[in-house]
Structure 1
Amino acid sequence: MEKISVFLDDYRKAPDGYVLAETIDECMELLRNFDIEHLSLDHDLLNRTRNGLMLVQKMIKENLFAKRITIHSANSVGGKAMYHCLKQAQQDLIMSPAIIVSLRPLPLNFFPSKVLQHYLEIR
């Protein structure tokens, strides 16, 4: 299975080397069909009811995960809810404890070089 990294966001552009998914349906399709090295997730998407938390819940239900997951949402409440949901799945042994889960909010309009380093180091 081909390995890729995925960036879920409907506003920001994906960093170099990442496949952009703009909806949770696109992201789920990629999770089902590729070996995902790194999955970076936003909470707020155009469809308010189909957001990043809903994606995380679907990932847990279908047992579809990446080797590394970063929550990059600038929405602190939504991002923390996604993070805690994934960490709970690890505690419940639904998701492997070996999967690295990070909470690293990104600004909406630019990527500071220090933050981009996180994406460059994990490839």
Structure 2
Amino acid sequence: MKINVFLDDIRSCPQGHILVKDIDACAELLTNFSVHHLSLDYDLVDQQKNGMTLVRWIVEQKLFPDRITIHSANSIGGKAMYIFLKEAQEKLLMPRFIKVILRPLPISL
């Protein structure tokens, strides 16, 4: 069974997803489960580990979900994550069939 994961420390979790608020919890799910959809924020409470930290780790560890959505409202950070993943696909470091989407979500508290 595949799971859907939503990494965010502010937004509400969409139905059908598991909410994780930090990189370590997200990495644990990617390591131990098959992930269908991974939705990522860039800015997190932990200033040392952000969404870019995770996407680099995903490519390095080769733990790829079927689909990745960058939902960060941080236009610079979100775009950097998207570009990194697309370049990883171009360099064949990540399978090209994995769908990568940049779709910023507003921050709703």
User: Under TM normalisation by the shorter chain, which class is it?
Assistant: over 0.9
Provide the rounded CA distance (Å) in 2 between the counterparts of 1:104 and 1:49: 24
> Which position in structure 2 is the counterpart of 1:46?
45
Secondary structure of the equivalent of 1:79? helix
Runs of 4+ in 1 over 4 A off after TM superposition: none
Instruction: Report how many residues are paired.
Output: 109
Provide the rounded CA distance (Å) in 2 between the counterparts of 1:47 and 1:25: 10
Q: CA deviation at 1:78?
A: 0.2
- Deviation string, structure 1 residues 37-64 (Cα, Å, up to 9, x no partner): 1000000000112000011111111111
> Which position in structure 2 is the counterpart of 1:75?
74
Q: CA deviation at 1:105?
A: 0.1
Give 5+ residue unaligned stretches, structure 1.
111-123
> Which position in structure 1 is the counterpart of 2:90?
91
Q: CA deviation at 1:82?
A: 0.3
Could you state the TM-score of these two structures normalised by the residue count of structure 2?
0.97
Provide the rounded CA distance (Å) in 2 between the counterparts of 1:33 and 1:3: 11
Is 1:66 paired with 2:65? Answer: yes
Secondary structure of the equivalent of 2:101? strand
> Which position in structure 2 is the counterpart of 1:6?
5
Q: CA deviation at 1:24?
A: 0.4
> Which position in structure 1 is the counterpart of 2:33?
34
Secondary structure of the equivalent of 2:69? strand
Provide the rounded CA distance (Å) in 1 between the counterparts of 2:33 and 2:13: 17
Could you state the TM-score of these two structures normalised by the residue count of structure 1?
0.86
Percent identical: 55
Name the aligned partner's letter for residue 43 of structure 1: Y
Is 1:105 paired with 2:101? Answer: no
Instruction: Please report the RMSD computed on the Cα atoms of aligned residues, expressed in angstroms.
Output: 0.9
Name the aligned partner's letter for residue 83 of structure 2: H
Q: CA deviation at 1:65?
A: 1.1
Give 5+ residue unaligned stretches, structure 2.
none
